[in-house]
Amino acid sequence: MQRNILLQYALILLIHITLTFAATNFTTTTADTFDILKAATITKPGCPSKCGDLTVPYPFGMGNLCAMAKWFELNCDSTFDPPRAFLDRIQVYEISDNEMQISNVVSKKCYDETGATVQGNFAKSDITGTSFSYSSKRNKFTVVGCDDFALISGGSGKKFTIGCLALCSEAKDVIGGYCSGIGCCQTSLPKGLKFYFTDIFTFKNHTGVSSFDPCGYAFFGEENRFVFRGVEDLSDPSFVERVTATVPIVLDWTIDNRTCAEAQSYDYACKGNSYCVDSGTGLGGYRCKCTPGFEGNPYLDPGCTDVDECADPSSNNCEHICNNFVGNYNCSCPDGQFGDGRRGGQGCHANLNSQFPVIKVSLGTGFGFLFLLSVVIWLYFSIKKRKLIKLRKKFFQQNGGVLLKQQISSNESLMDSTKIFTAEELEKATDNYAEERILGKGGNGIVYKGILPDKRIVAIKKSKEMDKSQTEQFINEVVILTQVNHRNVVKLLGCCLESEVPLLVYEYVSNGTLDEHIHGKGTLTWLSWGNRLRIASEAAGALSYLYSAASKPVIHRDVKSANILLDESYTAKMADFGASRLISLDQTEVTTLVQGTLGYLDPEYFNTSLLTEKSDVYSFGVVLAELLTGKKPIDMKRSQEQRNLTMYFIMSMKENRLFQILEPRVVREGSLEQLQATAELVKRCLHLTGKDRPTMKEVAMELEGLRKFTQHPWAQQPVHEESVGLIMNESDQSADLYTALITSNDLYTV
């Protein structure tokens, strides 16, 4: 079997080598033709095509018999080695199909230390009467110096004057590499310039800078060929020679001053297989270019000749065989192959009908193996999908899915408020529970951000564990909570029962937790005393509603600032009912295992394991203490006395130093009556005995009443003696402390 496979590969390799050799032979044969075409005539018969290193294409020529017009006549001076070409007295460096590079001239003025002029000249040039113009795209007017400005005047049909200013006071100010106006200035030229005159002037005759800059220079030339070298250019005595040797002036040239439309009616210069191009200089004039697929000189008979793209492999993209025809070419494949023959296209492929049977067998075997592999993969994923469906069905039943469906079908109101999500829906919504979708982690599970198909953003809670014996209780809880409709309670939208642990889907609340806003870094300008009191009132109202207004009382069991969310308008919403329990209307307590968050737990809860509404009241009292003090319930970094906030708060009230532990902003913005009343409410909520605590409804009503108090005027204006006297009647020591705090300079610098 292995020998047969090796034989197949050897035959394929042999065919490939044969075809490659044939293609190489063909390319080599056609390459000779390429060399012949490259020698196309560029000048009139009998006229020289070069002067030294310069190639001179027609319409340019050496003498009047070789040039199309007088302004195209060049003089080749053989006294130089190598010879140099001149247009009148201007040296020509290079000629392309639309531009010509010529020698430069620099305007220069130099001064001695006293400011006397020791050397100076101006520059001028005039190409009026020709079909040339100075290129506005390639040339820039440049001034180099530390005490100079230069003007360039010129034009064609219209005259103009532009200037450029270069100043600097010390050598260290000059930065090389570009012209910024400090030591070097550059500006653009207008279109259609045919003559110019440039001169350079000084402000202070270089006094003060002559030690490093004795001269000023002005010139224009090809922009990319001049690089300002900084102080080195300012003090270089050979600056003019360097510029004239390295920075040419670029001219745009055309046949004459007529447009293509005008020239075609009389003395048209474009010969066969060429087309006309208007110059775009604003002065008229046109040029000729060879039609694509042709090459040569478009100004000489018989015009442009066909390019044999097949002669140069780089001029075509044929894979094997190139066929040239006038103006273009095409590709083809050798006998026994098919395709378009182009590299990057279909290329050439072997014709299976003409190949050896072993290749057919190999291809058949390969396709058969691929088919078999595809069937195996399909069966594997089908079986895996069926197992997943069975597993999800099993979880759905274990988690009380049948019971939930029965309750929904028996109650029409539940159909609109309770949605059962599939596991696949929530996997897509959370991008398969990606790490970057995690909103938070807690003792009861992980919360993910999800995006449903209708673009709604939701929070999806994935619990850590589920007590199978509490399935019926869990379903009842979901049914009740999905019907809860309170502006300060996070809405439970539905659940998914197809996973090992049920998933709960809540509305998404965008502004984080109250815990983050109280204990976060930085100053939160929005968290004023009024907003703290509002949030406390809203949270208390929500808990009161859950206990007294819902169809079945709901005890939260994990009240803390981290479970109070804030929406985009900073409205409080109670969240995370993962530890909550429903109780019958004739029950007042539920026996359960101790659970919750350290620092918020009801002390009575530790001893009796009896869960009551008063347990939530105690936890809410801790949240109120957080809002008043800005301190965490438990902080091991604080001193032993201050480590537990509840004990520290109660002790501070007993010792009449409450205002020392309150957050400065709270003291500044809240009135004495509000702060004392709120502190007393906290003290009652934190009572060690549950029966001595107020109900959540009483807490909510008292907080709402406190909100209606107007802010005390002492927060904005000085405290008067008579006002202090009124306070002293109620609590002399507290009033003294409060007055000292709100008038202290330290308070306003916190």
Question: For position 23, what pLDDT does the model report?
Answer: 36
- Is the N-terminal amide bond of 45 cis, ω within 30° of 0? no
Residue 669 placed within a domain = yes
Please check whether residues 565 and 692 belong to one and the same domain: yes
pLDDT per residue as tens digits for the range 476-489: 777 777 778 889 99
Answer whether residue 4 shows pLDDT above 50.
Answer: no
Please check whether residues 30 and 160 belong to one and the same domain: no
CATH code where residue 659 lies = 1.10.510.10
Question: For position 36, what pLDDT does the model report?
Answer: 29
* Cβ–Cβ < 8 Å for 584, 552: yes
Answer whether residue 445 shows pLDDT above 50.
Answer: yes
| 726 vs 658, more confident | 658
Please check whether residues 531 and 471 belong to one and the same domain: no
* Cα 437 to Cα 7, 52, 366, 443, 450, distances in angstroms: 56, 73, 44, 18, 7
**Band (596; pLDDT cuts 50, 70, 90):** low
Instruction: Give the mean model confidence (pLDDT) for residues 242-250.
Output: 94
Q: Is 462 annotated as a binding residue?
A: yes
Residue 523 placed within a domain = yes
Please check whether residues 244 and 127 belong to one and the same domain: yes
Please check whether residues 434 and 582 belong to one and the same domain: no
Residue 295 placed within a domain = no
**Band (648; pLDDT cuts 50, 70, 90):** very high
Instruction: Give the mean model confidence (pLDDT) for residues 727-747.
Output: 42
Output DSSP code: residue 489: B
What is the rounded (10 degree) CA torsion for 551, 556, 562, 564? 20
Please check whether residues 249 and 321 belong to one and the same domain: no
Residue 464 placed within a domain = yes
**Band (288; pLDDT cuts 50, 70, 90):** very high
Instruction: Give the mean model confidence (pLDDT) for residues 135-152.
Output: 93
| 36 vs 635, more confident | 635
Question: For position 356, what pLDDT does the model report?
Answer: 54
Residue 133 placed within a domain = yes
Answer whether residue 110 shows pLDDT above 90.
Answer: yes
* Cα 732 to Cα 679, 729, 735, 738, distances in angstroms: 17, 7, 5, 10
* Cβ–Cβ < 8 Å for 324, 314: no
Please check whether residues 668 and 693 belong to one and the same domain: yes
Structural domain of residue 410, as residue ranges?
Answer: 399-508
pTM recorded for the entire structure? 0.47
What is the rounded (10 degree) CA torsion for 530, 533, 534, 536? 160
Instruction: Give the mean model confidence (pLDDT) for residues 178-186.
Output: 91
Average pLDDT, the chain: 81
Question: For position 554, what pLDDT does the model report?
Answer: 78
Answer whether residue 741 shows pLDDT above 70.
Answer: no
Distance CA 518, CA 525 (A): 11
Distance CA 313, CA 295 (A): 17
Please check whether residues 539 and 643 belong to one and the same domain: yes
Residues 6+ apart with CB under 8 A from 344: 317
Catalytic residue at 112? no
Percentage of residues in the chain having pLDDT higher than 90: 42
Q: Where is the domain boundary, 444, 479, 508?
A: 508
Instruction: Give the mean model confidence (pLDDT) for residues 176-196.
Output: 90
Answer whether residue 708 shows pLDDT above 70.
Answer: yes
Residue 343 placed within a domain = yes
Question: For position 716, what pLDDT does the model report?
Answer: 40
Question: For position 266, what pLDDT does the model report?
Answer: 83
CATH code where residue 471 lies = 3.30.200.20
Distance CA 419, CA 406 (A): 13
Q: Where is the domain boundary, 508, 534, 556?
A: 508
Residue 75 placed within a domain = no
Domain count, the chain: 4
Answer whether residue 358 shows pLDDT above 70.
Answer: no
Answer whether residue 427 shows pLDDT above 50.
Answer: yes
Answer whether residue 77 shows pLDDT above 80.
Answer: yes
Residues 6+ apart with CB under 8 A from 439: 447, 448, 449, 459
Interior/surface letters 329-364, b for 16+ CB within 10 angstroms, e for the rest? bbbbbbeebebebbeeeebbebeeeebeeeeeebee
Output the DSSP codes for 240-279.
HHHHHHH-PEEEEE-SSS--HHHHTTSS----TTEEEEE-
Residue 562 placed within a domain = yes
Neighbours of 407 (CB within 10 A): 16
φ, ψ of residue 371 to 5 degrees: the values are -65, -45
- For the record, the structure tokens of 437 come out as 């979708």
CA 225 from chain centre, in angstroms, equals 37
Q: Which of 567, 569, 556 is nearest to 597 (CA)?
A: 556
Instruction: Give the mean model confidence (pLDDT) for residues 268-291.
Output: 90
Distance CA 450, CA 459 (A): 6
| 709 vs 129, more confident | 129
Please check whether residues 563 and 657 belong to one and the same domain: yes
Please check whether residues 421 and 536 belong to one and the same domain: no
Please check whether residues 485 and 520 belong to one and the same domain: no
Neighbours of 528 (CB within 10 A): 16
Angle value at C-alpha 170, between 168 and 171, nearest 5 degrees: 100
CA 200 from chain centre, in angstroms, equals 49
Please check whether residues 156 and 184 belong to one and the same domain: yes
Inter-axis angle of helices 732-743 and 721-728, to 10 degrees?
Answer: 150
Question: For position 580, what pLDDT does the model report?
Answer: 54
Catalytic residue, chosen from 213, 233, 515, 558, is: 558
pLDDT per residue as tens digits for the range 325-337: 888 889 999 887 8
Percentage of residues in the chain having pLDDT higher than 70: 81
Instruction: Give the mean model confidence (pLDDT) for residues 208-237.
Output: 91
Tell me which residue has tokens 């803390």.
Answer: 560
Instruction: Give the mean model confidence (pLDDT) for residues 424-440.
Output: 91
Answer whether residue 149 shows pLDDT above 70.
Answer: yes
